[in-house]
Structure 1
Amino acid sequence: MDELEIKVKLQISKPVSEVKDAIIRADKMANYFIAEGARNMEEGKNIQWTFPEFPEMIIDVKILKIDSDQVIFEWEGSKNKQLEVRIDLEERPGNSTLITVSEGKMKYDPEGIVWLKRNTEGWSNFLACMKAYLEFGINLRKGGFEFMKAS
């Protein structure tokens, strides 16, 4: 094993079009992932994300591709490393969507292992928070990271 790659999946009981809309529209993403005020994702554009719990952290995101069942962007997934993130949306029975988030790749070394743990946890949280928001209107992220703020 020379390279590590993140891949997480979760099914949401909403149609692909609604899930995709919640990913590319900043006003919707602010209910489960980013802070308010970001721009919508548009193919070929650069945007910035901030997070409600960490306003000092600004993430540059380059949108590479948006189509009916996929969103691809690039960001600094690990310190000084631009990594590609792919979000694939697969229509499932019952008007549901299987979301697969892939990020990577990085070397199988101590830095790569830290990245794999941190970002796998982050993308799993992203999917769980999106599911709670889309299916139940709940913002799971709100207050969830207070323990990480500097005292």
Structure 2
Amino acid sequence: MESKNLEIKAAVQVLKPVSEVYEAIVNPVQMSNYFINDSTGRMEEGINLIWHFPEIKDIDVPVEVGKIVKDKYISYRWDIGDIKTLIEMNLEPYEENATVITITEKGMENNEGGIKWLKENTEGWANFLACLKAWLEYGIHLRKGAFDFRFKK
């Protein structure tokens, strides 16, 4: 049996124009309202960043920004522990001032570790999309305090 690499795909419609959704993803000030705590910079093609997440203390997440096409496509690789995967985000205008965002993450082998990653990151991308939608459409910061219980000692 052939061992294929695993891939996550998640999508949602956001009731905002593509330009607003794009800016919310590449701008760290915007991202801090629904995803990261802070970043060493704005997502720009070819640069390396460090992201910090509000629920994970003392962990730097290296991000290598890949190809970016304004208002259409964002790609990057991130290194979480010893797992390095490729994330691709496609933005498509939909009807009146709405955007469909599709996220794909790939790069894990189809084995026990890969299946664990698939479960956790599928949940993570669904959460990312819900938080992005809540922030852009209603100004609600869903992540604030949402995962504290997982990291308390």
Q: Report the TM-score range of the alignment, normalised by the length of the smaller protein.
A: over 0.9
Question: What is the TM-score of this pair, normalised by structure 2?
Answer: 0.93
Unaligned runs of 5+ in 1: none
In 2, Cα distance between the equivalents of 1:140 and 1:126? 10
In 2, Cα distance between the equivalents of 1:81 and 1:47? 17
Aligned to 2:12: 10
Instruction: Provide runs of 4+ in structure 1 moved above 6 Å.
Output: none
CA 1:138–1:111 in 2, change beyond 3 Å: closer, same or farther?
A: same
Q: CA deviation at 1:38?
A: 3.5
Question: What is the TM-score of this pair, normalised by structure 1?
Answer: 0.94
Q: RMSD of the alignment, in Å?
A: 1.3
Q: CA deviation at 1:55?
A: 2.5
Unaligned runs of 5+ in 2: none
Give deviations 1:64-121, integer Å, cap 9, x for gaps.
11112000001125x4232110000011002100000000132211011001001111
Question: Identity of paired residues, percent?
Answer: 44
Aligned to 1:54: 56
In 2, Cα distance between the equivalents of 1:3 and 1:43? 26
Aligned to 1:74: 77
**For this pair of structures, how many residues does the alignment match?**
150
Alignment of 1:2-151 (within 5 A): 2-68=4-70, 69-76=72-79, 79-151=81-153
